[in-house]
């Protein structure tokens, strides 16, 4: 039941797994969330100094402990709740149902990352102001990362196959746009709850531009002025 709640589709294609693993520089301590049966964990372990694999499913965690090489440390628990070990790089085939909160937690740690997400989510992460995909998640992630959508993955490389395409995304840390992480998240949550309203209607200025048309830099200026 726990696995169903997380809505995870296991990566099963060896070439896709190796492609993702090779995006991670060798010799690092890597944190992987949702290793499942280890399709990505094993090629990661071939390159990494240590792989810390956080797995919520007890049976899969026990299986991975038996099959993974010695440099894989399996941590049984919910990645949103457990304390993350210190690592140099983050990798995850993110379970669909926890995509946003996991990316928010990742942003707090500001680790470089390669993640696999729904293609729609990848488009949101990389979106520019003015489009339908531009929103709070865009701003929250771009505040801390440069976003690159690297490759689309078809449903057949997962088991069970999802109904949508996925995408591999690289997140490279940048200087954060603000220092107060929590305050900025509260402000953008409020702001994008009214994404089609104008600045005039929200009491944030005299202009008629709408929230979804504002650049990250403009949103940061509004935050600094009004918070």
Q: Which domains does the chain have, with CATH numbers?
A: 2-173 (3.40.50.150), 181-226 (no CATH)
Strand partners, 152: 167
- Given a contact cutoff of 8 angstroms between Cβ atoms, the answer to whether 49 and 27 are in contact is yes
Closest CA to 84 of 125, 38, 33, 35: 33
Q: Residue 44: helix, strand or coil by DSSP?
A: helix
Task: Compute the Cα dihedral for 11, 14, 16, 21 and give only its sign.
Answer: positive
The pLDDT assigned to 4 comes to 45
The pLDDT assigned to 6 comes to 53
The pLDDT assigned to 74 comes to 99
Question: Which residue numbers belong to the known binding site for S-adenosyl-L-methionine?
Answer: 9, 11, 34, 55, 78, 93
Sheet of strand 29-33, all strands in order from the earlier edge strand to the far edge: 72-76, 50-55, 29-33, 89-93, 113-118, 166-173, 145-153
Question: Which residue numbers belong to the known binding site?
Answer: 9, 11, 34, 55, 78, 93
E strand intervals along the chain: 10-11, 29-33, 50-55, 72-76, 89-93, 113-118, 145-153, 158-159, 166-173
- Given a contact cutoff of 8 angstroms between Cβ atoms, the answer to whether 49 and 23 are in contact is no
CA distance 26 to 71: 13
**pLDDT > 50? residue 3:** no
Q: What is the pTM of this model?
A: 0.94
Instruction: Encode pLDDT of 164-221 as tens digits.
Output: 999 999 999 999 999 999 999 999 999 999 999 999 999 998 789 999 999 999 999 9
Instruction: Average the pLDDT over 120-127 and give the result.
Output: 98
CA distance 24 to 2: 29
Instruction: Encode pLDDT of 87-104 as tens digits.
Output: 999 999 999 889 999 999
Strand partners, 33: 54, 92
The pLDDT assigned to 85 comes to 98
203 in the Ramachandran plot: left (φ > 0), alpha (ψ -120 to 50) or beta? left
Instruction: Encode pLDDT of 33-81 as tens digits.
Output: 999 999 999 999 999 999 999 999 999 999 999 999 999 999 999 999 9
**pLDDT > 80? residue 7:** no
């Amino acid at each position: 039941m726990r696995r169903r709640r997380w809505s995870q589709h296991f990566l099963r294609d060896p070439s896709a797994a190796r492609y993702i693993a090779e995006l991670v520089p060798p010799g690092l301590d890597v944190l992987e969330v949702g290793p499942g049966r280890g399709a990505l964990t094993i090629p990661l372990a071939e390159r990494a100094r240590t792989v810390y694999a956080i797995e919520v499913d007890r049976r899969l965690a026990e299986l991975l402990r038996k099959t993974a090489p010695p440099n894989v440390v399996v941590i049984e628990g919910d990645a949103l709740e457990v304390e993350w070990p210190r690592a140099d790089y983050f990798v995850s085939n993110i379970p669909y149902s926890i995509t946003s909160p996991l990316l928010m937690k990742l942003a707090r740690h500001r680790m470089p990352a390669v993640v696999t997400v729904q293609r729609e989510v990848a488009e949101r992460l990389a979106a520019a102001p003015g489009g339908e995909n531009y929103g709070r998640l865009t701003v929250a992630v771009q505040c801390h990362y440069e976003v690159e959508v690297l490759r689309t993955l078809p449903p057949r490389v997962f088991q069970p196959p999802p109904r949508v395409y996925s995408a591999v995304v690289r997140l490279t840390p940048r200087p954060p746009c603000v220092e107060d992480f929590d305050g900025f998240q509260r402000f953008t949550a409020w702001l994008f709850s009214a994404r089609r309203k104008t600045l005039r209607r929200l009491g944030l200025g005299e202009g008629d531009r709408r929230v979804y048309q504002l650049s990250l830099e403009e949103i940061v200026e509004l935050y600094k002025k009004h918070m």
